[in-house]
């Protein structure tokens, strides 16, 4: 018997952990702050990887792999970088029973070691651009952890590129931000806001950091991907130079960009409901599940035979399909099992359905009897594919409507202080503040400037905290 899932309206944090447990996405590890990703959770990540990897290769990037261990001296070469990551570093001081001559950092990110290699590989303008990506694990010693969202060790991809000019590198930075935005909308069905991070929120060692911000079902923000223009900061630290066409030595301009397994957490919190996961078909490990219903042995033979035939037709049409012919489990148990796991479409097949020449379909995004409908056997595969496409579009539409309904325009800081506790969401404000104002806001409201949206509103107004005239608007929200 499945344990009860807490209502998200009652306790969103408990609900999140309950869904992870009941959907068998992850479990706690014997090492503090780490998680074990279970097969179903990893299958979601694999689908994300496949979709993103395809996009990376379409934009000219190649995959490589760099060591997990990074010499301490590399980390300290870029001053902002070491200052930003020092509190999170895990260091190896002994190996093989001996103290190491130089401590090794367990990879928190790879800018330093990749630049060490760039300085060897890049000699001429003919070697540029160099466009690499790495799928790897990283370690950041977190004090407060939460599965998928923030763990000591997590999985991610990190892109690293080197270019001849600032213009080319900035184009790459925005191109990859666009790739993330497209993935979030088209595959994860999450309508993100793309924008520039403030100075206090940018990546340690970057000139500019851009991010996509997603709204969760409790109104909080989740930074779901970042793209950084690094300028020549790391190139100067590692002497990564090239001979240009005019025979002059110049430093390369660089970018880095990444997303991680926190995207799985984003899927849970952007789409889930009181029954568990709701997965967009594009990323669902099982897009359609077939549940046979029978009582007699004769019905069992007929129903299972037809169900197997349907499974074959759907698989041939490219649908990730599962026939649940588990013995000893009731149809109701199976319904609940797959509902919690967020399978987008359930097909029910019983003796009456055979006689009437159809299957009963239940879309996960429209639970209950009201959402049920029949699909004729003739043209079944094509109709299932159409329905999955419709579910994908409906989930994006629903998430967009939710985000828009929780986005507020305010003029003063006092409004934020008064409204945010009762109405968590995205607060759009005129912004001309700095580190001091951001720190005050964080201390007093626990909200931060999530980004300066690229979609500029035009016109100008007075900063909601300083009163200074500005043409920039910001998104302010509480965030994970």
For residues 112 and 70, the answer to whether their CB atoms sit within 8 Å is yes
Q: Would 12-271 and 407-477 be classified into the same CATH topology?
A: no
For residues 381 and 319, the answer to whether their CB atoms sit within 8 Å is yes
The label of the residue with tokens 């497209």 reads 182
274-308 burial: b if 16+ Cβ within 10 Å, else e: ebbbbbbbbbbbbbbbbbbbbeeeebeebbbebbe
Name the maximum alpha-carbon separation found in the chain.
Answer: 84
CATH 3.40.50.300 is held by the domain 407-477: no
Q: How high is the mean pLDDT of the chain?
A: 96
The pLDDT of residue 1 is above 50:
no
pLDDT at 251 (0 to 100)? 98
CATH architecture of 12-271: 2-Layer Sandwich (3.30)
Split at pLDDT 50, 70, 90, the class of 83 is confident
What's the CA gap between 137 and 154, in Å, rounded?
A: 6
Q: What is the pLDDT of residues 35-63, one digit of tens each?
A: 999 999 999 999 999 999 999 999 999 99
Dihedral, CA of residue 33, residue 39, residue 40 and residue 46, to nearest 10: 90
* Percent of the chain surpassing pLDDT 90: 91
pLDDT at 82 (0 to 100)? 67
Split at pLDDT 50, 70, 90, the class of 129 is very high
Q: Where are the domains of the chain?
A: 12-271, 288-390, 407-477
User: At CA 283, angle to CA 279 and CA 286, rounded to 5?
Assistant: 75
Q: What is the mean pLDDT of residues 160-184?
A: 98
Give the helix/strand (H/E) hosting 102.
strand 98-106
Split at pLDDT 50, 70, 90, the class of 87 is confident
- Residue with more model confidence, 370 or 184: 184
Q: How many CA atoms lie within 13 A of 112 on its CB side?
A: 25
CATH of domain 288-390: 3.40.50.800
Q: What is the pLDDT of residues 114-124, one digit of tens each?
A: 999 999 999 99
Q: What is the pLDDT of residues 374-399, one digit of tens each?
A: 999 999 999 999 999 999 999 999 99
What's the CA gap between 444 and 353, in Å, rounded?
A: 60
* Percent of the chain surpassing pLDDT 70: 99
For residues 146 and 33, the answer to whether their CB atoms sit within 8 Å is no
Q: What is the pLDDT of residues 201-255, one digit of tens each?
A: 999 899 999 999 999 999 999 999 999 999 999 999 999 999 999 999 999 999 9
Tell me how far CA of residue 219 lies from CA of 13, 201, 202, 270, 405, in angstroms. Answer: 13, 20, 23, 9, 10
The pLDDT of residue 102 is above 90:
yes
């Amino acid at each position: 018997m499945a344990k009860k899932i807490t209502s998200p309206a009652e306790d969103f944090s408990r609900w999140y952990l309950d869904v992870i447990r009941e959907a068998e996405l992850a479990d706690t590890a014997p090492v503090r702050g780490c998680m074990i990703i279970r097969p179903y959770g990893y299958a979601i990540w694999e689908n994300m990887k496949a979709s993103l990897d395809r996009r990376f290769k379409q934009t000219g990037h190649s995959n490589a792999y760099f060591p997990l261990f990074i010499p301490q001296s590399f980390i300290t070469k870029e001053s902002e970088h070491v200052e930003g990551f020092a509190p999170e570093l895990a260091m190896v001081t002994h190996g093989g029973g001996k103290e190491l001559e130089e401590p090794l950092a367990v990879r928190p990110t790879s800018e330093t070691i990749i630049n060490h290699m760039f300085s060897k590989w890049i000699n001429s303008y003919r070697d540029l651009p160099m466009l690499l990506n790495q799928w790897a694990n990283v370690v950041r010693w977190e004090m407060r952890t939460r599965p998928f969202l923030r763990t000591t060790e997590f999985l991610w991809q990190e892109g690293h590129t080197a270019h001849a000019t600032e213009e080319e590198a900035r184009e790459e930075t925005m191109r990859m931000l666009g790739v993330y935005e497209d993935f979030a909308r088209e595959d994860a069905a999450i309508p993100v806001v793309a924008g520039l991070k403030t100075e206090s929120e940018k990546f340690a060692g970057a000139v500019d950091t851009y991010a996509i911000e997603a709204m969760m079902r409790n109104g909080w923000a989740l930074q779901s991907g970042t793209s950084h223009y690094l300028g020549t900061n790391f190139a100067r630290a590692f002497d990564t130079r090239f001979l240009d066409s005019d025979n002059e030595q110049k430093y390369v301009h660089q970018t880095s960009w990444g997303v991680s397994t926190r995207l799985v957490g984003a899927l849970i919190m952007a789409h889930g409901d009181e029954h568990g996961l709701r997965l967009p078909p594009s990323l669902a490990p099982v897009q359609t599940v077939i549940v046979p219903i029978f009582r007699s042995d004769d019905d069992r033979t007929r129903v299972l035979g037809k169900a197997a035939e349907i499974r074959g037709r759907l698989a041939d049409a490219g649908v990730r399909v599962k026939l649940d012919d588990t013995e000893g489990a009731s149809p109701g148990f199976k319904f609940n099992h797959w509902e919690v796991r967020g399978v987008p479409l359930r097909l029910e097949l019983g003796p009456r359905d055979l006689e009437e020449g159809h299957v009963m379909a239940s879309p996960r995004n429209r639970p209950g009897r009201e959402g049920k409908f029949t699909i004729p056997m003739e043209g079944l595969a094509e109709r299932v594919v159409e329905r999955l496409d419709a579910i994908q579009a409906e989930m994006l539409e629903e998430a967009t409507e939710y985000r828009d309904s929780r986005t507020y325009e305010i003029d003063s800081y006092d409004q934020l202080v008064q409204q945010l506790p009762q109405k968590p969401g995205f607060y759009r404000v005129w912004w001309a503040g700095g580190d001091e104002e951001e720190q005050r806001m964080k201390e007093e409201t626990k909200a931060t400037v999530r980004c300066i949206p690229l979609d500029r509103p035009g016109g100008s107004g007075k900063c909601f905290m300083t009163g200074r005239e500005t043409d920039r608007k910001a998104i302010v929200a509480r965030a994970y």
